[in-house]
Structures are given as structure tokens and as C-alpha cells.
Amino acid sequence: MPPRSDQQTQDAPAPAGRPARPSVFLLPVPVVLLALITWQVVVEGPLLRLDERISRALVHPDRVSELMSDLGDVAVAVPVLMLVAVYVARRAWTAGGERWWVPSFAAMILMAVVPLVVVPLKAWTARYGTPVVPPGPGYYPSGHTATAAVAYGGALLILLPWLRTPAARRAAVVTAAVLVLTVSYGLVRRGYHWPLDVVASWCLCAALLGALWLLLRRLPR
């Protein structure tokens, strides 16, 4: 194999700071939680009464909460993921990686999977929204939360190997988490979604992002 050029060496992923591999057996946990929450929604179980009490305590529609929820719009979150995906693909290609396109492509595919899961769930559960939104079904789970979690979370996962310092990696993790939590809180505060709609999307996206994370770890460095 010919030696790498100085530019390729400079663009190689940061070798240090790889976290310990978690047990693969943890991946089904969010799926099980999602199934339990969905079951409560379908049968209108006691968990929904708690959900409604929490919603009544938190709902306060205002401009700020609406702007917070807008960070989960497809038009906002997906372009962020696309920009990061292009950046990561270019860095990997410059570094001479044989599969330079895989992380970015996988993240974009994961984004495309979100509506394929969320839309049928909305149709099947047919949950009505809070009193502050127009009456009608289709609020469970939260599509905005899922879009934000996969877009910002996916961008974080593919970008982390290219961040050189622990401080940069911590900043990236905090930024992604703050964005997702901001969207989640804004949706509940504005009354666009019940809290359980948001929590269910967290569970769904934890499973999706966990699968992406395991895929990225299997790629050669």
C-alpha cells in the first residue's frame, strides 16, 4: 500500500477517544419501551391520564415555544444533516478511505427511514392531539421529534470521528442534545404534542441511531 500523503494523514479520523463498546443486547430496550408506550396509547391505558396531566401543566402556547419546535422541521433539520454528510464524505475521501461514502450515505438512509416508520404508526394509533391543536388523529409519535433526533443525532455520529479534541467532541454532543431537547420541549410547551408522543419518538430514534452507531464501528478506520 502506498504511503499516505501529508494531506491524507492530516485528514484521517482522530484515533483517540473511542468509547467502550456497549452491549448489543441494550439495543432492544428502546424498542420494548416504544412497544409498551404504543400499547398504552392504543388501549387508552392509565399512562395516558398521567400524560394528559403533565401536558396540562406544561402547555403554554407562545412564539418562543413555536420557534423551538420549528427546529424539528424537515426544512431545518435535514439540511443540517446533509451539510454534515457532505463535509464528512469529503474528509473521508480526502483521507483515502475505501468506504468514504458509507457513513454519510447510511445517515441519509436512516433519515429516509423515519417517515416510513412514523407515518404508519400515526395512522394505526390514530391518537388525537391536545386541546390547543385542530381536532383529528395522527399525533403519535411525534414526527418533528423523530426528524430532529435522527438529523442532529445522525450528524453527530458521523462527525465525531473527525473531531480532533475531546473539547470539540463534547461540544458536538452537547449541541446535538440541546437541539433535540429544545425541539421536544417546544412541541410539548406549544401543545403540538402530548409528552408521550415525544418520548415514543425518543425510543424509536434511540434504536435507529444505535443501529447506525454499531454500523459505523464496524467500518475500517
Residue with cell 438529523: 151
Contact status, residue 91 vs residue 200, Cβ threshold 8 Å: no
- In whole angstroms, what is the distance from residue 199 CA to residue 142 CA? 8
**pLDDT tens per residue across span 61-90:** 999 999 999 999 999 999 999 999 999 999
List residues bridging with 128 in a β-sheet.
Answer: 137
Can you list the alpha helix ranges (DSSP code H) found in 95-165? 102-125, 143-159
* Amino acid letter, 105: F
Res. 18: pLDDT tops 90:
no
pLDDT in tens, 135-162: 999 999 999 999 999 999 999 999 999 9
